């Protein structure tokens, strides 16, 4: 092994040791109760809440998927996606965070699925069961995308077999999630969020220097038709081998195509997904006090905006520094790794790629934990064994972790998978199934149990049907499946709720007063 590779590996080993140590440190407290294991006892501060929420959300698509998309196809899709995500982040913290924190405490809910169930007093647990199953379905896909990130990283760095390293990285994520529960996830997420931010800024500055400065970069990219346009999309010319054509040492692009208003609105709709992301919503449940939401919101939005901007810029600048390095969108997702190898000292490169690991590990750990808690609490405990002990619930949660872990490995086995495309599918499914329900649950007292079920099923089914059968038709049907699914989910909730009897008086009473009952004065009186 060369000295450079050794230093890279050393930095990564140090990172792994720190992560696993955190998991074991928190394991004793995490196993004291289900509330501690799933929510950290609702004692998480604003900094940890904000960075954990965003680090768990910004999986490998932030450090690999988004830069890869920008490198291969230019600004338009990547840029509008980032703008939608930034707006969605702010709206979610503004509209959902405080209300969900208060309402979940009023209903004594420790999972998002459990909140939906208790919000509508669903004694038969129909809502919670459906929510848990949808969560399992799309989180398996999500976890797979994170494992793809790990496999690509090690394969690119060391030339080691993709499948082997993907499975090893997945096992490390599984181990500290299994042992440490929510507190270990949040603590490592905080560290990983800081590391991800540091990596993006470090590689961005280095790549600008390598490209010869801002002016030279702008001049180079301006010569590529539609590459840095917000209303045009560049079109890489693909050869018979499936790779972008290269002539005279430069990549070949065809005439750009219009990136019209409908497509822009469709891409911006990525932001709608935030309202239904269990990994983010769970952070709202666990914050120490709803009064600390504002501080968390500021931290989260600043982190997201800067990180997304840096990620896209790295992809664009990568075309200047290494214009012909990657011939497919899938391979282009390694651009940050290759730039890190080129521009940074070996040990710093190790820290940089640890940041990529941080992105995938923080996300996959959150997905594993939420999937486990949803099945254990909302299916096993609520349906099959209502007198289950906390130990039994946690055993089921961990068995679920194993199942999701194995399915994620199966999803990630194909090394040609595009991280961005895999994530977009799962993001749409979760956002459309739970986003409308979250908003209606918090803002419309007339929402009924039947409406909630109709909204979840409509959103999830629309994503599956649109993605697989309608979207391939192209044209206006080629829009991102989240947008039509979200709209139809909202309509389903509204129409079915209007057609069914008004909720019981105790549900309406709780809705009318859950916020004022949680004021500081009321808390003191209690």
**Residue 113: its pLDDT value, please?**
81
**Residue 227: its pLDDT value, please?**
96
Work out the pLDDT band at 500, boundaries 50, 70, 90: very high
Instruction: Give the DSSP letter string of 365-395.
Output: HHHHHHHHHHHIIIIIIIII-TT--HHHHHH
Residues paired with 233 in a beta bridge? 257
Please name each of the domains of the chain with its CATH number. Answer: 3-520 (1.20.1730.10)
Cα separation, 174 vs 409, whole angstroms: 11
Q: What is the mean pLDDT of residues 7-21?
A: 78
Q: CB neighbours of 171 closer than 8 A, spacing ≥ 6? A: none
**Residue 170: its pLDDT value, please?**
78
Q: Is the pLDDT of residue 347 over 90?
A: no
**Residue 152: its pLDDT value, please?**
80
**Residue 350: its pLDDT value, please?**
84
**Residue 449: its pLDDT value, please?**
96
Taking all residues of the chain, what is their mean pLDDT, rounded to a whole number? 85
Tell me the per-residue pLDDT of 428-452, one tens digit each, with 9 for 90 and over.
999 999 999 999 999 999 999 999 9
Angle at 341 between CA 175 and CA 234, to 5 degrees: 100
**Residue 33: its pLDDT value, please?**
47
Q: Is the pLDDT of residue 526 over 50?
A: no
Tell me the per-residue pLDDT of 135-149, one tens digit each, with 9 for 90 and over.
888 878 877 877 887
Cα separation, 216 vs 352, whole angstroms: 25
Measured between its terminal Cα atoms, the distance across the chain in Å is 64
**Residue 150: its pLDDT value, please?**
78
**Residue 192: its pLDDT value, please?**
76
Tell me the per-residue pLDDT of 20-33, one tens digit each, with 9 for 90 and over.
676 666 655 545 54
Spatial CA neighbour of 420 closest among 480, 461, 340:
480
Work out the pLDDT band at 522, boundaries 50, 70, 90: very low
Other CB atoms within a 10 A radius of the CB of residue 242 amount to 10
Cα separation, 119 vs 510, whole angstroms: 9
Tell me the per-residue pLDDT of 91-121, one tens digit each, with 9 for 90 and over.
999 999 999 999 988 988 877 888 998 999 9
**Residue 177: its pLDDT value, please?**
64
**Residue 366: its pLDDT value, please?**
67
Q: What percent of the chain has pLDDT over 70?
A: 88
**Residue 355: its pLDDT value, please?**
72
Q: What is the mean pLDDT of residues 144-163?
A: 78
Instruction: Give the DSSP letter string of 119-131.
Output: HTT-TT-HHHHHH
Cα separation, 175 vs 198, whole angstroms: 26
Highest mean pLDDT (candidates 177-181, 227-231, 279-283, 473-477): 227-231
Q: Is the pLDDT of residue 186 over 80?
A: no
**Residue 178: its pLDDT value, please?**
64
Q: CB neighbours of 174 closer than 8 A, spacing ≥ 6? A: 368, 401, 402, 405
Q: Is the pLDDT of residue 463 over 80?
A: yes
Cα separation, 102 vs 501, whole angstroms: 26
Work out the pLDDT band at 519, boundaries 50, 70, 90: very low
**Residue 233: its pLDDT value, please?**
93
Give the alpha-carbon dihedral of 435, 441, 442, 446, to 10 degrees.
130
Q: Is the pLDDT of residue 35 over 50?
A: no
Tell me the per-residue pLDDT of 308-322, one tens digit each, with 9 for 90 and over.
999 999 999 999 999
């Amino acid at each position: 092994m060369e000295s450079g590779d050794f230093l890279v590996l050393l930095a990564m080993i140090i990172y792994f040791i720190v992560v696993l140590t955190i998991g074991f440190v928190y394991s004793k407290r995490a196993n004291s109760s289900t509330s501690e294991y799933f929510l950290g006892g609702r004692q998480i501060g604003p900094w940890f809440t904000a960075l954990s929420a965003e680090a768990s959300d910004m999986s490998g698509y932030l450090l690999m998927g988004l830069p890869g998309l920008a490198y291969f196809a230019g600004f338009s899709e990547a840029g509008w996606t980032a703008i939608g995500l930034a707006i969605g982040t702010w709206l979610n913290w503004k509209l959902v965070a405080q209300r969900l924190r208060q309402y979940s405490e009023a209903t004594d809910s420790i999972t998002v699925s459990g909140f939906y169930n208790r919000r509508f007093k669903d004694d038969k647990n129909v809502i919670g069961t459906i929510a848990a199953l949808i969560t399992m379905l799309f989180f398996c896909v999500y976890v797979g995308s994170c494992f793809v990130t790990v496999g690509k990283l090690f394969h690119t760095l060391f030339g080691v077999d993709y499948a082997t390293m993907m499975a090893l990285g997945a096992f490390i994520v599984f181990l500290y999630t299994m042992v440490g529960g929510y507190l270990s996830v949040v603590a490592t997420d905080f560290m990983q969020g800081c590391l991800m931010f540091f990596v993006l800024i470090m590689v961005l500055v280095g790549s600008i220097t390598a490209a010869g400065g801002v002016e030279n970069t702008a001049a180079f990219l301006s010569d590529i038709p539609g590459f840095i346009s917000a209303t045009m999309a560049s079109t890489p010319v693909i050869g018979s081998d499936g790779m972008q054509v290269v002539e005279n040492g430069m990549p070949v692009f065809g005439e750009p195509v219009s990136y019209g208003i409908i497509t822009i609105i469709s891409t911006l709709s990525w932001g709608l997904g935030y309202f239904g992301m269990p990994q983010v919503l769970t952070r709202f449940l666990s914050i120490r006090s709803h009064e600390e939401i504002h501080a968390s919101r500021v931290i989260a939005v600043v982190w997201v905006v800067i990180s997304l901007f840096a990620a896209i810029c790295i992809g664009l600048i990568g075309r200047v520094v290494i214009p012909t390095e990657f011939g497919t969108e899938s391979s282009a997702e390694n651009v940050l790794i290759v730039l890190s190898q080129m521009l940074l000292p070996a040990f710093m490169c190790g820290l940089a790629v640890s940041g990529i690991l941080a992105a995938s590990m923080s996300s996959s750990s959150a997905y594993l934990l939420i999937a486990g808690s949803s099945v254990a609490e909302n299916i096993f405990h609520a349906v099959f064994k209502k007198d289950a002990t906390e130990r039994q619930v946690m055993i089921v949660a961990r068995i679920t972790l194993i199942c999701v872990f194995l399915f994620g490995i199966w999803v990630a086995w194909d090394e040609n998978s595009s991280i961005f495309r895999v994530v977009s599918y799962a993001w749409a499914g979760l956002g459309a199934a739970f986003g409308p329900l979250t908003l209606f649950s918090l803002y419309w007292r007339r929402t009924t149990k039947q409406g909630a079920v109709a909204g979840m099923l409509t959103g999830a089914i629309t994503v599956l049907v649109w993605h697989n059968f309608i979207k391939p038709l192209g044209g206006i049907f080629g829009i991102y499946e989240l947008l039509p699914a979200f709209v139809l989910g909202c309509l389903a909730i509204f129409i079915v709720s209007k057609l069914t009897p008004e909720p019981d008086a105790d549900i309406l009473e709780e809705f009318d007063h859950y916020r004022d009952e949680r004021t500081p004065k009321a808390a003191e009186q209690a």
